Each structure stands twice: as C-alpha cells, then as structure tokens.
Amino acid sequence: MAARESIAEIKQRAGRVARALAKLYPNARISLDFETPWQCLAATILSAQSTAAGVTRVTPELFKEYPDARAMAAADPRRVEELIVRTGFFRQKTRSLMGAARKIVEDYGGEVPSEMDALVKIPGVGRKTANVILGHIFGKPGFVVDTHVRRLTYRLGFTRDTDPEKIEIDMQKILPAEDWTPFSMRLILHGRQICIARKPQCEICAIAGDCPRVGVGKAARRPRRAKSGSASTRR
C-alpha cells in the first residue's frame, strides 16, 4: 500500500476513487451476454484469453444447442469444440465446460451453486469466475481480479500483492462489501481505456489526483504474475 498512509487514509482515498469511477462508468458490468447462471458461468469460462466480442459471437448457437448444464454434460465434445473454436484454446475450454456441467449435474442437481466454496470446486472455475457469478447472478459481494484489476490496484497503491486471492482480501479490507463487484468492474473498464499497461494516460485520468502511480515508468517495480495466480481473462 502507499507509503505513510494509515488504513483510514487508504479507505478514504479508495472511497474517492470509487465515487469518481462510478461517475465515469455508472453501469459497469461484465461484457458478456447470458440469461441464466449456467450461461454466465459458461461465457466466463470461454472468455479466458479471448475478447468479449469473440465470446458473444459463439454463445448464441452454443446456448441454443446446449442451454443448460444437463445438456452440456451430455454433449458431443467434438461438436462443442466446433462451436467454440473461434474463442481460442477450444479443446481445453471444451473440457472445462463439460467438466463443469457434469460436476453441477452430479453434485448440485443441475443448478449453479451460489456459494464460493462450492463454485471453486467446479472444473474451470477459479475465484475470478466465482466472483463474477456471485456478483452478477446472485447479488452477493465478490471482488473480481483480472489482469487489469491486478495492474490498477498496484498502481493505486491499494495492494503490494500480485496473487489474485491476496489482492481480493486487501481490497475487501478497504472497501464496503456493496462496492466490491461494481468497483472491480469499473477498474477493468478504466484499465482498458485509460490506465493501459504500456503507457497509462495519466494526463487525462479522472483519478490521477488520488493515484500514487506505483511502478509507472519504473519497469522494475511493475507487478509480475504470481505463479499460483489464475489465468487472466481478456474481456
């Protein structure tokens, strides 16, 4: 966290950043199309190392043929691969989708569970995906950590950790629970549009006054991916 700041000062600064981002991105949410908990989970799995646009090109037909976990559990993997090939890593994603579907059918009666402990036991579901499900489907607080969130929370001096789960814990300490999901979604948008990896646009950034710019312009101080961290998702 930023040097010489007390936890109270960090919370105050985080609150100001949260309010500023809320004005910039009032309707921030995951950029994927879905109608059910299963479809949200499946689309999020597909979004790994892919763009939201790429995922939304394949999900209409995928969900038409396999609308729920039971249908996916009984699917022909070759057909699933054919439907999702444009998202990349299609064989691995097919295994994750079908493995997740079987787990949900066998252990949860075909319904996506609404608890973190149960969600992370599903193949292909890490804490990032689980927090997406909790926040967007079940209305439960969940702080989503992707590559943009890792970068921005570090630059903002809110965490010194690089492991997604530790970042999640740090952010939960300084933000009220109701802000966890929207704040993380807004960081993702801000990371895509303004606080980009190679050259952040600090001169036009609405939160520049509350950002210590940790590591900016100092390559040696930029965070590296923790070996135990989950794969990042481009959305």
* Catalytic site positions: 128, 146
DSSP string for 188-204: HHHHHHTS-SSS--GGG
Q: What angle do CA 29, 123, 96 make, to 5 degrees?
A: 80
Please state, in angstroms and as integers, the Cα–Cα distance from residue 85 to each residue in 22, 42, 56, 77, 89, following that order.
36, 14, 13, 12, 7
**198 token code pair:** 């190679």
Rounded Cα–Cα distance for residues 234 and 44 (Å):
10
> What distance in Å separates the CA atoms of residue 138 and residue 232, rounded to the nearest whole number?
23
Q: Which of 66, 11, 57 is nearest to 36 (CA)?
A: 66
Q: What residues contact 201, with CB distance under 8 A and at least 6 apart?
A: 194, 195
| Tokens coding 138 | 């079940």
